[in-house]
Amino acid sequence: YYKIARAEDDRPVESNRVRKSIGAETSFAQDLSDVGQMLLELEQIASFVEQRLEQHETRGRTLTLKVKFSDYRQITHSKTTIAPISELDTIFEIAKTLFLSIDLENRSIRLLGISLSNLDNAKQAQVIQLPLFQDRGVIF
């Protein structure tokens, strides 16, 4: 215990922690002020998230967009879907919709991030009960 008391431990780390989210974020060397460039970066981040989801063989139901401005203020917006998602197109479209809902007020962005939570094992077959009625875009 002498070594352990001094934070010296050669034993391998055994992690049995359950992963709760998967994501990626990018800090920019220069703050972004062009919305087109921001969307290109957002698509790249969505691609990283998709790769990580594939690597861990999982999907997620809640997508969270993180935006940090040049003044270091930070906001997050989230959307939860009925079915789990893991495809690049879906991840990017949801992130893009959340991003475009933000009032940038001519502020520059220092960091963008996307994460998925409410994870689901992609190997397991998923059975989802579809809505019985749909009226004018409202699902009951």
Tens-digit pLDDT profile for residues 6-61: 888 888 887 777 889 999 999 999 999 999 999 999 999 999 999 999 999 999 99
pLDDT of residue 122: 67
DSSP string, 84-110: EE--HHHHHHHHHHHHHTS--TT--EE
pLDDT of residue 46: 98
pLDDT of residue 2: 86
* % of the chain exceeding 70 in pLDDT: 86
Task: Give the residue-averaged pLDDT of 70-95.
Answer: 97
Q: What is the Cα 36 distance to its own chain's centre?
A: 20
Q: Which CATH class is domain 21-120?
A: alpha beta
* % of the chain exceeding 90 in pLDDT: 70
- According to DSSP, the β-strands at 138-139 and 134-135 are antiparallel
d(CA 92, CA 114): 9
Tens-digit pLDDT profile for residues 95-131: 999 999 999 989 999 999 999 999 988 665 455 666 6
More confident residue, 136 or 81: 81
Q: Where are the beta strands (DSSP E) in 53-130?
A: 58-69, 74-85, 109-121
> Per-residue confidence at 140, pLDDT binned at 50, 70, 90?
very low
